Amino acid sequence: MTMGSAINPVANIHIKHCNIGAYKGLQNIELRDLNVINVLTGNNNSGKTSILELLETLEDPENIYRWYAGVRFWNARYRSSQVFDGIRLLFPIDSQEYKILYSFMEASGDEHSIELHADIEERKFSSEQIYQINKKYGIFPDESDSGYIIDGKCMNLTSSIDGKQNDTVTIYDFQGDLLRRIVEKKIVFFKTLYLSTVAHVSHRFSLSDILRDAEMHQSLVDLLKIFDANIKNITIINERPVEYGFVLDNCNEAIPISSFGDGMKKTIILAAYLLQAKDGILLVDEFETAIHTSAMDEVFAWMAEAALRLNVQIFMTSHSEEAINKLLRIGYKEYINVYTLYKHEGINYVRRLAGEEAIHATDTLRLDLR
């Protein structure tokens, strides 16, 4: 299972510091001296997932669709209002100003600042204007109601990077979707991949790069043996849509991955995302989800080893004291930091512990890291 021969002992930490001035319920949050693996923990609603959402925009912060990834409600009944209201709720909830602000320092020492600003205005719209705006997004409302006038709102969104302002994008409260091609996609800072708590349920992932890499392929097979000792290979069993399966020692045909448990699916998708995040940043929400405690030691060790090999910096959230403690004891403590988020009298605070400090705090001081 080891990939140790390929590890560079000096890991490249892409982001050294990050300061969040304002985003959703977060204000003046400072993450200092970031490591290869950064665990974000704390009570519910302390802002852990919000930090992942914000870091995801690093790949392309001038593209409004990147920011829209932070919108969490996807009820189809209210689809027409999700774009406008969803983006509006990204802005600080206790401020009269619609402004998101964060900054970060690269390992090289270069510093950057990102802002997203919104102006909201009320206007009257004719049925023809509404039709033409929605048509742009591939939505064709009923034209039989032509001639009416409604009161509506529009939001003018402007992002800026290091003080340089980008083109303004306007969205409307009757807009039914968001155009992905608002700006030409380009990687501005780092490649970022976000792995949600339910991604392993969708089965939408690619293993093609893993299957082409003989060492990674065998390493993943060895890891999956902790779930089923009979696994001897992973292969493609259907091209369109792509479906993967396991070849077992005692079976003549490959069995679809979808037939196995969530723990195995979570491990596979974690591996797929790690490989895709090569030389970039992986964001994992509740990294222990679906992984049984008996498998955590080996899965977490594999994850850390792969991150070092692939030059991936990881940010991940957790509610589990057991999972955090197991992660700290897999043999990579020098590459792990734990950040505990909490609020006191409405003010955000962060407690940072390096791996060795976190182990001492739990073993000697009996401190709950959460």
* Per-residue pLDDT tens over the stretch 16-54: 999 999 999 999 999 999 999 999 999 888 899 999 999
| pLDDT tens digits, one per residue of 219-275 | 888 888 888 889 999 988 888 778 888 899 888 888 888 888 888 888 888 988 998
**Helix or strand run (H / E) with residue 29:** strand 26-31
| pLDDT tens digits, one per residue of 127-150 | 888 877 777 766 555 555 566 788
Peptide bond into 92 cis (omega under 30): no
**Extended beta strands in 218-364, E state:** 231-238, 243-248, 255-256, 281-284, 313-318, 336-344, 347-354
pLDDT at 203: 57
β-pair type (111-126, 231-238): unpaired
The residue written with tokens 């693996």 in the block is 37
Residue 240 has what DSSP assignment? Answer: T
In single-letter form, the type of residue at position 334 comes to: E
Q: Cβ neighbours of residue 12 under 8 Å, at least 6 residues apart?
A: 107, 311, 313
Q: Is 216 within 8 Å of 310 (Cβ atoms)?
A: no
A 10 A CB-CB count for 140 gives 10
pLDDT bracket for residue 9 (50, 70, 90): very low
| pLDDT tens digits, one per residue of 294-339 | 999 999 999 999 999 889 999 999 999 999 999 999 999 999 999 9
β-pair type (99-106, 164-165): unpaired
A 10 A CB-CB count for 79 gives 12
- The token duo for 174 is 């009757």
A 10 A CB-CB count for 80 gives 18
Q: Cβ neighbours of residue 351 under 8 Å, at least 6 residues apart?
A: 339, 340, 342
| pLDDT of 8 above 70 | no
pLDDT at 41: 96
CATH, domain range 193-363: 3.40.50.300
pLDDT bracket for residue 183 (50, 70, 90): very low
Q: Is 55 within 8 Å of 284 (Cβ atoms)?
A: no
pLDDT at 257: 85
Q: Taking the complete model, does pTM exceed 0.85, yes or no?
A: yes
Q: Give the separation between CA 61 and CA 10, rounded to whole angstroms.
A: 29
Where are the domains positioned within the chain?
77-99+115-186, 193-363
Q: Give the separation between CA 137 and CA 180, rounded to whole angstroms.
A: 9
Residue 254 has what DSSP assignment? Answer: P
Residue 109 has what DSSP assignment? Answer: S
CA separation (Å) from 325 to 25, 140, 231, 250? 28, 53, 29, 37
Q: Give the separation between CA 309 and CA 306, rounded to whole angstroms.
A: 5
